[in-house]
Amino acid sequence: MTDNGKQAFRCGFVAIVGRPNVGKSTLLNALIGEKVSIVTPKPQTTRHRILGIDTRPSCQAVFVDTPGFHRSQPRAINRAMNRTAMGSITDADVVLLVVEALRWTGEDQDVLDRCAESGLPLLVAVNKVDTVKPMTRLLPFLESVATKADIQEVIPLSATRGTSLERLREAVFARLPEGPALFPGEMSSDKDDRFRIAEIIREKLMLRLHQELPYGLTVGVDELERDSHLMRISAVVWVERSGQKGIVIGQGGSQLKACGQAAREEIEHTWGVKVHLQLWVKVRKKWSDSERALRDLGIDLQ
Ligand code: GDP
Ligand code: MG
């Protein structure tokens, strides 16, 4: 409370951390109510640090989606992703650890240890409770999680179904420090249209290419022109070897066409305009082993 009895505004950063694939990005999108971070069933989908901003009359929570922590880090991209994930804890006011219901692995323990070391208020979201049958199996798991460290609240939820999100929001808001808003109230993400469009295209490629997906694949938007009715986009899909071009393009161009169509539909739906999308596939040699190339592509190396 302030001197005049009004409730003070609260604002702060909330680091969403957890091993790959527990549903961090899905949870961020559910909290913000739009897709700010892409989601696929594969680990290592999120490569960048992405902010999702939730502004209310009395507070602003800035959620930070991170690439998951990885135990093995043989390549530069993995090392960069780990540094990004750790950096977000250092800057945070609250840590939100996401785990999967009924699954506690060595990687979960590693991440929990790092969260506990930070000394920050720690909340644990036990996600994917929709997969638990019968529900009675959940209680002992929640109890065992609660005793693993100094955890302020353990909140079972389902990011895909949207259950218990309000309880989580309240738990987060209550722990934000007092302070003015850091971002304009209407801003939901720190990323611009080019980044979000490139990510949507990458999501569609990841979803369609499955096991065949080239490891070092990235997407960059080269040109973006927009008026009130139409968006013209030209984007490049970068791969590491010329042999991978064929995989991305597919028989007679079928894969690339289908990915482009799915991306176009989502962009049209999200931005509410007609979209003309051109996709090119180009080779950039071994970029994921070169930190310079990572920097060129805008991946945080910190
Ligand atoms: P991240 O790597 O932690 O960011 O995980 P993602 O958000 O990319 O999600 C990984 C996978 O888990 C995707 O296939 C999601 O659809 C799925 N997933 C996320 N939340 C839930 C949930 O509440 N229930 C179920 N059944 N699946 C979920
Ligand atoms: Mg993610």
- Per-residue pLDDT tens for 211-244? 777 777 899 999 999 998 999 999 999 998 888 9
What confidence category does residue 66 fall into, taking pLDDT thresholds of 50, 70 and 90?
Answer: confident
pLDDT at residue 86 in the model? 65
Please state, in angstroms and rounded to a whole number, the distance separating the CA atoms of residues 157 and 297: 35
- Per-residue pLDDT tens for 132-160? 999 999 999 999 999 999 999 999 999 99
The Å distance, Cα 38 to ligand 2 centre, comes to 7
Range with the largest mean pLDDT of 79-83, 141-145, 244-248: 141-145
Rg of the chain's alpha carbons, rounded to an integer?
Answer: 20
CB 60 within 8 A of CB 183: yes
pTM of the model: 0.85
Please state, in angstroms and rounded to a whole number, the distance separating the CA atoms of residues 206 and 219: 11
Which of 158, 288, 260, 273 minimizes the C-alpha distance to 203? 260
Residues with CB under 6 A from ligand 1: 18, 20-26, 39-41, 45-46, 68, 127-128, 130-131, 158-160
Ligand 1 atom at minimal distance to the Cα of residue 26: 7
pLDDT at residue 43 in the model? 77
Closest residue (by CA) to atom 11 of ligand 1? 41
Ligand nearest to the CA of 107: 1
Please state, in angstroms and rounded to a whole number, the distance separating the CA atoms of residues 168 and 302: 30
| 3-class DSSP state of 236 | strand
Please state, in angstroms and rounded to a whole number, the distance separating the CA atoms of residues 180 and 173: 14
204's CB contacts (< 8 A; 6+ apart) are: 259, 260, 262, 263, 266
- Per-residue pLDDT tens for 155-181? 999 999 999 999 999 999 999 999 999
pLDDT at residue 139 in the model? 96
| pLDDT of 297 over the 80 cut | no
Average of per-residue pLDDT across 90-107: 94
- Per-residue pLDDT tens for 17-63? 999 899 999 999 999 998 899 998 887 787 778 899 999 999 999 99
CB 34 within 8 A of CB 25: no
